[in-house]
Every structure is written in C-alpha cells, then in structure tokens.
A = this chain, B = another copy of it.
Amino acid sequence: MEKRISLAHGDGGELSHRLIKSVFVEAFGHNNEAMFDASALTIPVRDIAVTTDSFVIKPVFFPGGSIGKLAVAGTVNDLAVSGAKPLYLTCGFVIEEGFEISDLRAIVSDMAKEAKKTGVTIIAGDTKVVERGSADGVYINTTGIGIYENGRKPSLQFTEGDAVIISGTIGDHGIAVLAERGELGISVPIDSDCASLNTMLLKVCEEIDDVRIMRDPTRGGLATTLVEIAEDFSLTIVLNESSIPVREEVHGMCELIGFDPLYIANEGKAILIVPNEHKDKVMEILLQFPEGKDAAVIGEVTGTEKGQLLLETPLGSKRLLTRLAGMMLPRIC
C-alpha cells in the first residue's frame, strides 16, 4: 500500500476501495465495505438522542490522545451528558493529500479502541480527500446515536441551592494541546483529559433521582458552558473561585501567556447540577471513577430568575463571568 494519501484515495475508485478495506473496515471490524457506507439497524427503543461534532484538532496526536480518540469520546460525551446511552457512531473523514497512511491507521485504531471501550458500534463512514493545503492533516466528523432507557434523562428543572459539580480539573485538554503545538516554546507535563465519560455519568443518572443537567465544558471552557446554562434556564449560578480544581501546571502556563483556565477547553470533564441534598452522593460516585477523582463541588444555583454566572473571589467579592469574547491570544499586558 502507498505511504501517503493521494487525491485518488478519495475519488471513489480503486484506491478509495482499497483504503476503506485495508484501513477502516479492518479496524472497525465490518466484513464488507458496503456496510461502511450506509447501515440498516433495528434499535431497542424509540426514544433516541442524536448529536454531531466535527473534530479539527492540531496536532492530531497529543499527550493523552489523538483526534481519533477525541472524535469518539467527544460524541460519546455529548450523548452521555444528555443522559442517553451511546450505541452507534458514524464517522466522516476529510483527509489532506499527503497525509501519512500510518498516521491514519493509528487514528482509526484509536477510534476503534475507544469505541470498543465505550461500547459503541461504528456503523457508517465516509472518506474524502482534499488537495494539499486544503486541510490540516485530517478532520473527523462523528455523529452519535444513543438511547434513553429507564427514564434517565436529566430533568432540566432547577431550584435554589442546587449544587454545581465539576468532574475534575479544568483546562487540561486545551493547555496540553496548546503546549504540544510547540509554537509558544512552553512545555507542560500534563495529558489532555480526553476520555469517554458515559459509564460514570450514566451511573450518576442511575443512582440519583433528579439530576438537573449535565454538560461537557469543551470549547469555551467551564465559564462559557455555565453562562449558557445560566442563560438558557434563567439561573443565577455562583462559583467559588478557590474550589475550582486547576492543575498547577495549567495555572503556570496560563500565567505565562495571560490565559484564564475558566475559558480553556476540556475533553473529559462534565458539569453536573444536582439537588443540594444529593451532592455528597454524586461526589461519592464520581470519586470512584478515575475520570472523576478530582471532582469538586464548585458552586450553587442561587436564583432562578436571571440568567447570570458569578464568580466569588477569595476576598468575597463577586464578579460576573461572560462567554469567552473572541479568541484568547498570548499577551504581555
């Protein structure tokens, strides 16, 4: 087989056929490639959740994962935070001419591994190849289908006093990837948190009656995700700055370049808002999982009228948190 992807790998002819057979079908374990293009299936229940995401990370391999692992975990998590049990995944690849086929294999193998681990089946796929300079390596779209069993769906009903929990340290993914890119010349000895959270989160949903909401604070970070929740459901949420778990290394890198961990992307974390009386039980469950070992109660819902997110500093002052406004750029002032 060739070493690098050529445009012909995407033109639907003999090379596409071989690529699909030798890379995808093999890794995803289908026995004919017709299955790879479209899939007929019978699902166990009629209540489903559907989500889609495209993954465009640079570099495609980073400490703690790869775009392949991310593409599976990211979509699995979007289903899991909605309370659904992830069952099926489709994947669409856009590959740059010249991309190393061995890298593609490694990525696809990461996908297969993560899919196996989380119990999802990859049921359909597609590959397109674009000219050199028309993509940055490889982009992957995954679309996930999950099912709702046993009324696991978060209620989306909130009351004052509800506890806000984060399942672990924030900013690990964004900082690990930024450092790995090497452009800033800063090395940070941490891994991306990239992980599938379905087992842990569905366990919470099983054990706790009235989970209010779960969300994965990916792009835009913890603050942006909580602003969205606050606005969507007209909640006043107050976070306690000193209780938010941030790794020292993440803090260090952020200090150096003037970034704020509250706005850095996570790929293996969930925000859970739960009734105050269940918060200890939820913490107990989260702490049982490796993905939840740094979980912390970081704030509470203090009102259900205005949509706003506040941060209480160690001095006791409160300040308003808004969405990430424009890109974060390394700065000197």
Contacts and interface: CB of A to CB of B under 8 A. Distances in A.
Chain A binding site: helix, strand, loop or mixed by DSSP?
mixed
Interface stretch (A86-94, A106-114, A202-210, A251-259): A86-94
Contacts of A56: 94, 128, 130, 134
A12 B92 contact: no
A50 interface: yes
Contact of A94 (B14, B54, B82, B124): B54
A218 interface: yes
Contact of A263 (B13, B84, B134, B148): B13
A37 B324 contact: no
A38 B124 CA distance: 19
A272 B124 CA distance: 22
A155 interface: no
Interface stretch (A39-47, A283-291, A309-317): A39-47
A8 B263 CA distance: 13
A123 interface: yes
Contacts of A123: 50
Interface string A123-147: 1111110110111100101010100
A226 to B, nearest CB: 12
Given A32-B232, A84-B40, A54 B92 contact: yes
7 closest A-B pairs (Cβ-Cβ)? A12-B219, A13-B324, A12-B220, A141-B141, A52-B90, A143-B143, A38-B51
